[in-house]
Structure formats: C-alpha cells, structure tokens
Amino acid sequence: MRSDTTARIARRRTLRVAAAVLTAAAALTLTACNGPDGGDSK
C-alpha cells in the first residue's frame, strides 16, 4: 500500500511541476511578445 501512495504523490508532484513550468513558459512568452509592443502603446 505504501508503494501505491508513493506513486500517487509522485504523480501529483509531477502534475504540479508540469503546471508550474507551463505557466512560467506562458508568462515568459507573453512578456517577450508584449514587452516592446506594450512600451509603444503607452
């Protein structure tokens, strides 16, 4: 039963890490794309 719990925890951690990476990548992409344009619009 411990192995099942460990697997579940590992999956949750993996999903959290993946979500964090995707969020960070999206934020960097938006910042990179909108950085120069945002400065020009103001």
Write down the pLDDT at residue 42. 46
What is the identity of the amino acid at 14?
T
pLDDT score, position 40: 46
Per-residue pLDDT at 27: 92
Residue 42 lies in a domain: no
Kindly state whether residue 40 falls inside one of the protein's structural domains. no
Q: What is the DSSP letter of 1?
A: -
Q: Per the domain annotation, does 41 fall within a domain?
A: no
How many domains, the chain?
A: 1
Q: pLDDT tens digits, residue range 3-41?
A: 788 999 999 999 999 999 999 999 999 888 765 555 444
pLDDT at residue 37, as a whole number: 53
What is the DSSP track for 1-42?
Answer: -HHHHHHHHHHHHHHHHHHHHHHHHHHHHHHHHHHHHHHHH-
Is 8 part of a structural domain of the chain? yes
Helix or strand or coil: residue 9?
Answer: helix
